[in-house]
Structure 1
Amino acid sequence: MRLRDRRSFTKPQVMIIPMIDIMFFLLVFFMISTLYMVNLKTVDVQLPQAVHAEGQAKVTYVVTMQKDGSLWLEDKPIERDVLIRQAADQQRQNPQFSVVIRADEGLDYGQVMALLDGLKGAGVRHFGLAAHE
């Protein structure tokens, strides 16, 4: 029986390209899966459509107005007067304070304007109206 010569053996190699492919796949998988884990603290409403809607990175208050006129601060119900008073306090503490209003599509426009007017009267200067892209 003839054995192979030791010089004909090749050294073991680490295949780096498949490992890089697997790492990129895992990176993308975890990035996409964490996007769906973000818990939005809002109440579900039917937002109106807008073609030129923009996203906003930092929002201090998200106020939701449901079809029946009820107000929600994030995911908790709140009275209009209490909301305006809290917004005025926040505005005094932080000049960059902003409010985004998520109003239901079927809500009366006058109710949205009344809330905006009350917030403006409280000194809030930065507003946003949420829309579905």
Structure 2
Amino acid sequence: MRSWSESKKAKPHIELIPMIDVMMFLLVFFVLISLNVIPSQGLKTQLPSATTAQALKPQTKAIVTLLPDTIQLDGQKLTIDQLLQNLKGQKQQGQNLSIIINSDKGVAVEQLVQVMDRLRADGFTSVSLAARKP
């Protein structure tokens, strides 16, 4: 009887180099995002400085961004009437709604006062201005 020798089967093994490449890409993206090299959603504004600026406490809040030609609520471009309707909808869902106005340095004081006046006239009492420490 004739017998053939069995061919040697290659043992399965895990390729480490592609796995290391994937981990390095994940690490690079994590570092870039944490260092704000990749910009987040929203508009860049230059906040005015205030020596009495305080850190925000966790709360139900809505961030209104004012630019010379734009009003935004949490990144959505709106008119003043749409802004008030959205804020009224958020206020019905939660008990207290704090509104933070993130106004650019180039915004006219008149526009800022008009927005604040409309907010207070519609019953929003907790309105704050965002500032950064110098």
| TM class, shorter-length | 0.5 to 0.7
> Aligned partners of 1:122 and 1:56: how far apart in 2?
24
> Aligned partners of 2:107 and 2:89: how far apart in 1?
27
- CA deviation map 1:31-57 (0-9, x unaligned): xx68646x8643111111111101112
Aligned residue number for residue 65 of structure 1: 66
Aligned residue number for residue 93 of structure 2: 93
Q: TM-score, normalised by structure 2?
A: 0.64
| Post-superposition offset of 1:60 | 1.9
- CA deviation map 1:86-118 (0-9, x unaligned): 112222332311110011112111111111111
Task: Give 5+ residue unaligned stretches, structure 2.
Answer: 1-30
Across the aligned residues of Structure 1 and Structure 2, the Cα RMSD in angstroms comes to: 2.3
- 1:85 match: secondary structure: helix
Q: How many residues align?
A: 100
What residue identity is the alignment partner of 1:105?
Answer: K
- 2:127 match: secondary structure: strand
> Aligned partners of 1:55 and 1:35: how far apart in 2?
20
What residue identity is the alignment partner of 2:115?
Answer: L
What residue identity is the alignment partner of 2:65?
Answer: T
Distance 1:69 1:44, change over 3 A: same
Aligned residue number for residue 48 of structure 2: 48
Task: Give 5+ residue unaligned stretches, structure 1.
Answer: 1-32
Distance 1:64 1:113, change over 3 A: same
Please say if residues 42 and 64 of structure 1, whose CA atoms lie closer than 8 Å, have aligned partners that are also in contact.
Answer: no
